[in-house]
Amino acid sequence: MRNDITPDDLKKMKLVNIEAVDAESLVDIRDVKINPDLSKEERIAQFLNQIGKR
């Protein structure tokens, strides 16, 4: 599994006004569970999948 965040994705992220984001639409980080036995790339993919960004 790969983390395919493009330079364009990063530009879009920089433009987000974090003060305007609806907190209720975000995933509670306390509910995210990452398997430490996975490779770095797999852990990143697992995180992104759980927060709904893939």
Burial class (CB in 10 A: 0-12, 13-18, 19+), 12: exposed
Q: 10-residue block means of pLDDT along the chain (54 residues)?
A: 73 91 91 96 90 71
Cβ–Cβ < 8 Å for 1, 42: yes
Say if 1 falls within a structural domain.
Answer: no
Say if 2 falls within a structural domain.
Answer: no
33 DSSP 8-state letter: -
Instruction: Give this prediction's pTM.
Output: 0.62
Q: What is the pLDDT of residue 33?
A: 96
Question: Is the sign of the CA dihedral 20, 23, 27, 29 positive or negative?
Answer: positive
Q: What is the pLDDT of residue 5?
A: 72
Structural domain boundaries enclosing 38? 7-51
Cβ count near 41 (within 10 Å): 11
Say if 31 falls within a structural domain.
Answer: yes
Instruction: Say how many domains are in the chain.
Output: 1
Cβ–Cβ < 8 Å for 33, 10: no
